[in-house]
Amino acid sequence: MSVTRRMGRNDREKSADRREAAGSTGDRRALRTRTALHRALIGLIVERDYDEISIADITEAADVGRSTFYAHFTDKDDLLRRGLGHLRGHLLEARDSAGGGEGAASRTLWFSRFMTEHLKEQHQLYRALMRGRAGPIIIDKIKELLSELVRTELAARENGSGAQAAPPEIAVRFVVGAYMSVVTWWLDRGARETPEEIDQAFRELALGGLGTLLRS
């Protein structure tokens, strides 16, 4: 339909390559520019909805020429997603700094504890990020990261008890989906409960199921 929008697959690849190359060589200046753009974006997302933000808004906030934007990123989504690369670092850091007392990291579904606390600390930020059209992108990213943790954990803990009804990936999906559903609800309502309450409720349901809640 749109001529502008729809580059052939190949053309897009090529320019992505160029951009990627620029990304890896990484002059000091280029790096500064990219960082400024990332910062500008999250700054703006906090105060208004993701898709009410134009690229011009971002470049203006970053004090950068609009054409410069296109020298580094293909897209607003591209900018967002690449900025999310740091997320993994933040999360692992949160995990490590959250020195759990007794047994800590050995607890099942350990991620729930430090993640919930992390979300609480930054809840203004995360609430903004998850609002609007940016939400799905960010939630997907977080899901991806958590899935990795859960997958590893489940693989490690798997008991050899024989007949395993479901493929493990279902359990991973189940757990992560349930967790995100609970915490987005929690954040949306203003994070009224403490992280501990959320963590505990989640873990109870995840480990013990609904069974105990129900009659007969």
Give the one entry of its own copies, DNA, none that residue 124 binds, where binding means its C-beta sits below a cut-off of 5 to 8 angstroms depending on kind: none
- How near is the Cβ of 12 to DNA at its closest, in Å? 6
Does the protein bind its own copies through residue 173 (CB under 8 A)?
yes
- How near is the Cβ of 136 to DNA at its closest, in Å? 18
The pattern of x and - marking residues 8 through 47 that bind its own copies according to CB under 8 A reads: ----------------------------------------
Determine the interface stretch with its own copies among 21-29, 34-42, 74-82, 115-123 (rule: CB under 8 A): 74-82
Please report, to the nearest 10 degrees, the dihedral formed by the alpha carbons of residues 123, 85, 146, 183 taken in order. Answer: 20
Angle (nearest 5°) at CA 142 between 136 and 148: 135
Determine the interface stretch with DNA among 5-13, 88-96, 140-148, 149-157 (rule: CB under 7 A): 5-13
Cα–Cα separations (whole angstroms), residue 61 to 22, 72, 83, 124, 215: 22, 16, 16, 20, 57
Q: Which of 55, 98, 154, 201 binds DNA (CB under 7 A)?
A: 55
Q: Which of 17, 20, 121, 169 binds its own copies (CB under 8 A)?
A: 169
Q: How far apart are the first and last CA of the chain?
A: 58
Q: Which of 6, 14, 66, 90 binds its own copies (CB under 8 A)?
A: 6
Determine the interface stretch with DNA among 29-37, 86-94, 157-165, 183-191 (rule: CB under 7 A): 29-37
Residue 101 token pair: 């007392």
Buried b or exposed e, range 86-97, using 16+ CB within 10 angstroms = eeeeebeebbee
Closest to its own copies by CB, 6 vs 32, is 6
Closest to DNA by CB, 13 vs 158, is 13
Nearest to 108 by CA among 158, 143, 64: 158
Half-sphere exposure at residue 148, Cβ-oriented, CA atoms within 13 angstroms: 8
